[in-house]
Amino acid sequence: MARVGTSDGQADQVGIQNIINSGWGWNGWVYLDPCTNTTGCPSPAEHVQRVNYSLNLAQPQELNKTNYGMFPNAFFINIQGQWSSNRMVNQQILTEYVQAAAATFEGTSFITDYTTWSTNFGPYWTVPASAGDASGVPFIWWRKYDGRTDTNGFSPFGNFTMVLLKQYAQNVNNRAVSHFIHWTLHPPETVHQQRTLHPP
In 22-57, which positions are buried (b, 16+ CB within 10 angstroms) versus exposed (e)? eebbeebbbbbbbbbeeeebeebeebbbbbbbbbbe
**CATH code that applies to domain 2-179:** 3.20.20.80
Query: Percent of the chain having pLDDT more than 70?
Result: 70
Domain segments of the chain as ranges? 2-179
pLDDT at 38 over 80: no
Average pLDDT over residues 6-22: 90
pLDDT at 5 over 90: yes
pLDDT tens digit sequence for 59-73: 654 444 444 556 677
Average pLDDT of every residue of the chain: 78
- What local confidence, expressed as pLDDT, does residue 196 receive? 38
Q: What is 128-182 written as a DSSP string?
A: -TT-BSTTS--EEEEE--SS-SS-TT---BTTB-EEEEEEEEEEETTEEEEE--T
pLDDT band at 118 (very low <50, low <70, confident <90, very high): very high
Determine which of 38-47, 128-137, 164-173, 186-195 has the lowest per-residue pLDDT on average: 186-195
- What local confidence, expressed as pLDDT, does residue 139 receive? 83
pLDDT tens digit sequence for 123-179: 999 987 767 655 567 788 898 888 788 888 899 999 898 888 888 776 555 444 443
